[in-house]
Amino acid sequence: MRHSSNPLTALRTALLKSVAVAAMAFTTFTGTEAHAEKVRDLANIAGARDNQLVGYGIVTGLSGTGDDVSVPFAAQSTLSLVRRLGVQVDAKQLRLKNVAAVAVTATIPPFAKAGTRLDVQISSIGNAKSLIGGILVQSVLKGADQKAYAVAQGAVLLGGFDARGNSGSTVKSGVTTAGRIPEGAIIENEIATNFVQNGRLRLDLRTPGFAVSAGIADALNAKFGLGTANAEDGGAVMVKIPESFAGRPVQLISALEDTEVQFARKARVIINERTGTIVAGGDVRLSPAVVVNGSLTIVVRETPTVSQPTAPVFGSTNGKTVVVARSEVEVTEGSKTVALVPKTATLAEVSSAIAALGLPPRELASVLQGLRSAGALEAEIVVQ
């Protein structure tokens, strides 16, 4: 019996046999695993939120690594500071280099009271080379409403260093123009927090989703009684304060945050094309599929040559020396790899099936997107 010598026919036959074998070898996976998480990890209490503070200040005590005269606001701030302290200085007498203008930021948590200390971040906004050894002079921190809520002051801690020699040699590690002051700010004015309105609380989901919202409502109704919680949409759940917790909203929040919620997590594959990183969640599923991967390399070489004219004829000036371009094109087609991706039910099996392809991360990202388009990858592809 004669066999066909057509390679395409042989490849098609092999693929059909592989898919048929995979369909018989793997059983059908039904259902999606449910996850149990605490309400505190899924939602926040509306009204009980952080607030950002920002301010402007100057860092003093630098060893010649501060702003220079080309940064006018640093000089103006220094002049204003010494004048407020009762020292009359002419602007022409100022010498900077030991002073740097900085932005001061902090986050004030909910329910923080006057006198509570906050961590502060410092970052240069001029051309200072380093803030090593600097001390932040008292700066006022304001909220988005332009009201002052805290003051900051203290020694700046950095995560890097900058060493310089007399000959100009430098050694630098990390960032020396940004740092922090642990507990460097003191809250002066409290931010009012109102998280109970008309006898109700609202839970705002950190990652909106209808399954999560419905799961939270069902769990709270099962624990505190039917009608306690109602899922308004995929991002919020309204909670009615039960009679047993009347006048005790804090105890209610503590109890509901400790409630476990059963829900099906959305399957996702995150692809970062800049770094070549691929992260897959635990609910990712793969159906049987065939992946054919190959490479095509085209190399173009330019070899310019010089063309000399023939011996000149007496009285003729038409001959010229010119450069003639000579191109050589080489096409190399790599061997195509045919791989069968089996059906998988766990993240470990998905990892093994993906690793068996032996592809670099960037090519693997294209393969995953192709599997999603073909319906073989049961997950949402998110490209960052």
Domains of the chain: 36-47+194-263 (3.30.1360.40), 51-187 (no CATH), 268-295+335-383 (no CATH)
**Strand pairing class (117-124; 161-164):** unpaired
Residue 120 has a pLDDT of: 96
Integer CA distances (angstroms), 174 to 58, 105, 158, 161, in order = 22, 20, 9, 7
Count of beta carbons in the 10 Å neighbourhood of residue 179: 24
CB neighbours of 284 closer than 8 A, spacing ≥ 6?
267, 268, 269, 347, 350, 377, 378, 379
Per the CB < 8 A criterion, the answer to whether 192 and 219 are in contact is no
Q: DSSP assignment of 70-118, as one string? A: T-HHHHHHHHHHHHHTT----GGG---SS-EEEEEEEEEPTTPPTT-EE
Report the distance separating Cα 177 and Cα 149, nearest Å: 25
Residue 1 has a pLDDT of: 43
Report the distance separating Cα 159 and Cα 183, nearest Å: 17
pTM of the model: 0.64
- Report mean pLDDT in 10-residue bins for the chain, 384 residues: 47 46 34 68 90 94 86 84 81 78 94 94 91 93 94 90 63 81 94 87 90 91 91 92 89 91 78 76 73 59 68 61 68 58 63 68 75 78 79
Q: Residue 367 is encoded by which pair of tokens?
A: 């393969």
Tell me: the pLDDT tens digits for 269-295? 887 777 777 777 767 777 777 766 665
Burial of 335 (0-12, 13-18, 19+ CB in 10 A): exposed
**Strand pairing class (268-272; 380-383):** parallel
DSSP secondary structure code for residue 69 in this structure: T
Residue 15 has a pLDDT of: 45
Per the CB < 8 A criterion, the answer to whether 200 and 240 are in contact is yes
Q: Residue 182 is encoded by which pair of tokens?
A: 């642990």
Q: Residue 173 is encoded by which pair of tokens?
A: 């590690």
